[in-house]
Amino acid sequence: MRTGDSNKRLGTIFKTSERTFGRMLKTATESLLNDFVPILCTLYVYLGFDHITRAQVVERNLFLPNALFGNPDDNPAERRAIVICDGSYIYLQKSTNYFFQPAIINAFHVLIEDNVHASTILNIINNRLNTRNHLSEIVERYNYNRKRAQFRLMSADMPEFEDFPRLEEEELFLFALGIYQLKQARCYYGEHIQEDGSFIIELFREPDHGHLSELEGNDLWMIQGRIQSRHVRAKLYYVYVVIDNDNALNGRESIKHYYCTCHIGKRTVTTYSTGCCAHCMTIVLNYAKDRHVIPPSPSLENVIMRTNN
């Protein structure tokens, strides 16, 4: 109910049919709505503004929100209570599952703690704050999205990208400035390599037309990617990643610029939108790390189905 996994996959995990699992899920949902949520709403235990005091909210302020939006040096009574709301999909109609999910999460989810890289992330944010995405300006100015390109399906064996910098997991996290993009990127690539070809990622090493000289860097080259939208089959996103082969640079420092034509593809850290989008992360993750280790596995759903067959 919370993960959004299909009934087919969940039914396989619980060793039952898709239809039987659907009935079980419906029964559980009705029980929660009838017996669990109303009691908590009445008692204000885990739902509503009155279930927690302002002082308790202030005590739970984490390092990054405090540093960006708070006043941690003031006395406790005057410190700001920080609430961060994710409105990414606020314009979409929500499933009724979301009605009781907040109660379950508030009741059983462990308190979120500061990430071990919180100080490093803050330094990155401060260094990039209000930085313009110059690559996006070049792409738009010279109509790169309309240029002809000999795209090839993305795979681990693409010699033209051999000089892509290698990154460890920690550097990938700091490049994305969060775990969400990493998780999404692995899902995207897992869907890309499914046999039905339902999700397509194509790449092309863009020749230098002289435009990269307008960007910061010494020895630049660029990957152009074309990624199909997961939600609209007719929609394509174009992704651009610029690498600097300067020997003085290492790891994520070599990935100098990036841009995607999706809604959040211009993000650097402007207005605190951090890291990169998941489309960009898919390309970086595959060539910076995954191709150097074991071959990527098929999607989880395929693995589960084949194991049980």
pLDDT tens-place string over residues 239-253: 999 999 988 788 899
The mean pLDDT of 223-236, rounded to a whole number, is: 84
Closest by Cα among 179, 270, 282 to 230: 282
pLDDT of residue 69: 92
Q: How far apart, in whole angstroms, are the C-alpha atoms of residue 247 and residue 185?
A: 28
Confidence of residue 88 (pLDDT cuts 50, 70, 90): low
pLDDT of residue 251: 87
Whether the predicted pLDDT of 50 surpasses 90: no
Closest by Cα among 296, 300, 283 to 167: 283
Q: How far apart, in whole angstroms, are the C-alpha atoms of residue 2 and residue 257?
A: 35
Contact in structure between 54 and 30 (CB atoms under 8 Å): no
pLDDT, greater one: 260 or 48: 260
The mean pLDDT of 6-18, rounded to a whole number, is: 85
Q: How far apart, in whole angstroms, are the C-alpha atoms of residue 278 and residue 191?
A: 14
The mean pLDDT of 260-281, rounded to a whole number, is: 78
Which two tokens mark 265?
A: 């593809």
Strand order in the sheet with 152-153: 152-153, 201-206, 220-228, 236-244, 255-260
Confidence of residue 140 (pLDDT cuts 50, 70, 90): very high
Q: How far apart, in whole angstroms, are the C-alpha atoms of residue 256 and residue 140?
A: 18
The mean pLDDT of 109-132, rounded to a whole number, is: 89
Whether the predicted pLDDT of 175 surpasses 80: yes
Confidence of residue 158 (pLDDT cuts 50, 70, 90): confident
The mean pLDDT of 24-47, rounded to a whole number, is: 77
| CA 85 to each of CA 32, 88, 89, 105, 143: distance values in angstroms, whole numbers, following the listed order | 25, 9, 11, 15, 35
The alpha-carbon radius of gyration of the chain (Å, integer) is 23
Map out the domains of the chain as residue ranges. 7-108, 118-308
Whether the predicted pLDDT of 203 surpasses 80: yes
Q: How far apart, in whole angstroms, are the C-alpha atoms of residue 40 and residue 135?
A: 50
pLDDT of residue 84: 83
The strand pairing partners of 260, in sequence order, are 239
Q: What is the 3-state secondary structure (H, E, C) of the chain?
A: CCCCCCHHHHHHHCCCCHHHHHHHHHHHHHHHHHHHHHHHHHHCCCCCHHHCCHHHHHHCCCHHHHHHHCCCCCCHHHCCCCCCCCCCCCCCCCCCHHHHHHHHHHHHCCCCCCCCCHHHHHHHHHHHCCCCCHHHHHHHHCCHHHCCCCCEECCCCCHHHCCCCCCCHHHHHHHHCCCHHHHHHHHHHHHHCCCCCCCCEEEEEECCCCHHHHCCCCCEEEEEEEEECCCCCCCEEEEEEEEECCCCCCHHHHEEEEEECCCCCCCCCHHHCCCCCHHHHHHHHHHHCHHHCCCCCCCHHHHHHHHHC
Confidence of residue 294 (pLDDT cuts 50, 70, 90): low
Confidence of residue 305 (pLDDT cuts 50, 70, 90): very low
